[in-house]
Amino acid sequence: MDEVRLGVNVDHVATIRQARGTRYPDPVTAAALAESGGADQITIHLREDRRHIQERDLRILRETVQTRLNLEMAATKEMSKIAYEFKPDMVTLVPEKREELTTEGGLDVAMRRDPIKDQVRFLQDGDIHVSLFIDPDIDQIRAAHKVNANAVELHTGAYCEAKSQGVRQQEFGRLVDAAKTCSKIGLPVYAGHGLTLNNLAPVAALLEITEFNIGHSIIARAIFVGMVEAVREMKQAILQARSGQ
C-alpha cells in the first residue's frame, strides 16, 4: 500500500481560545496530542485577520512539531514574507475572504498565473514545499503545473456538502478525474475540506491522493473522545479505505 499522510488542522482549537481571549486551549498542545495519535503533519491557517491562529502559535509550532508543519495562507506578499521568515515545511496557498466562515473554494490559479508563479518561486527559494489549494478542475491543475507548484490539494467541499447522492457521485467523479490527471502529469495530489469519518472512505481509497488535511471534524470528535483518539480513528479510517476494507 502506498504511503499516505494525515495532516491535522488545529485552527479550531485556536478559535475557541480567541472566542474568550484566553491562553487556553492551546493549539500547540493540540498539535502534540495529534502527533501522539498518529498525525503525520500539523496544518495551521494563519489568516490575514488573525481570527484564530496567531504568529505566536506559528513560532512555537515551528520549534515543537516533530512531523511536518504545513502553513495555509493567502497568496499575498505579506504572508509569503512571514512564511519565508518562519520556514514551515510546506505552504499551502489558499483563497481568502474576510467575511467567510471557512475557505469557500479553490484558488484561481488560471486567472492569477503570473503573480502566483512569482510567489511559488519566492517560497521555493526559501526551501519551502508549495502546494496550491484548488477545485478539482483540469484547467486549474494544468495552471498549477505551469507555475511549478510542488503539489496541489483538491478542495473536497463540493463532494462533502452535496445534498443528494446523485450530486455527490458527480462531484466524486470530478475528484477521480482530477486525481488521475495529476498522476499523469507527475503532480503530487492531496485532498481536504469537509472530510469526516462518514464521507471519507471513497476519497481515501483513491491511491493517487497521498495526503489528507482534516481539521473541523477531528476537533469536533475530540470534544467527546479526546484528541489522541480522534486522530487515531481518522488515521485508521484512511488506512482501512486504502486497503479496501
What residue has cell string 485577520? 49
Label residue 163 exposed, middle or buried (CB < 10 Å: 0-12, 13-18, 19+): exposed
Each residue's pLDDT tens digit, 135-174: 999 999 999 999 999 999 999 999 999 999 999 999 999 9
Active-site residue flag, 72: yes
Active-site residue flag, 155: no
pTM exceeds 0.75: yes
What's the total number of domains in the chain?
1
Give yes or no for residue 102 having a pLDDT over 80: no
The CATH number for 231's domain is 3.20.20.70
How far is C-alpha 46 from the chain's CA centre? Answer: 12
Each residue's pLDDT tens digit, 18-42: 999 999 999 999 999 999 999 999 9
Q: Any residues with CB less than 8 A from the CB of 169 and at least 6 apart, and which?
A: none
Q: Given this model, what pLDDT does residue 244 score? A: 81
Grid coordinates representing 8 are: 491535522
The single-letter code of the amino acid at 54 is: Q
User: Beta strands 209-214 and 189-192: pairing type?
Assistant: parallel
Q: Given this model, what pLDDT does residue 245 score? A: 59
Domain with 93 in it:
5-242
Where b means 16+ CB within 10 Å and e means fewer, 96-135 reads beeeeeebebbbbbbebeeebbebbebbeebebbbbbbbb
Each residue's pLDDT tens digit, 14-24: 999 999 999 99
Vertex 1 angle, CA 130 and 229, to 5°: 75
Active-site residue flag, 3: no
Pick the catalytic residue: 153, 193, 208, 211? 193
Please provide the average confidence, as pLDDT, over all residues in the chain.
95
Q: How many CB atoms lie within 10 A of CB 173?
A: 12
Pick the catalytic residue: 12, 35, 52, 72? 72
Q: Helix, strand or coil for residue 180? A: helix
Which run of H or E residues covers position 108?
Answer: none
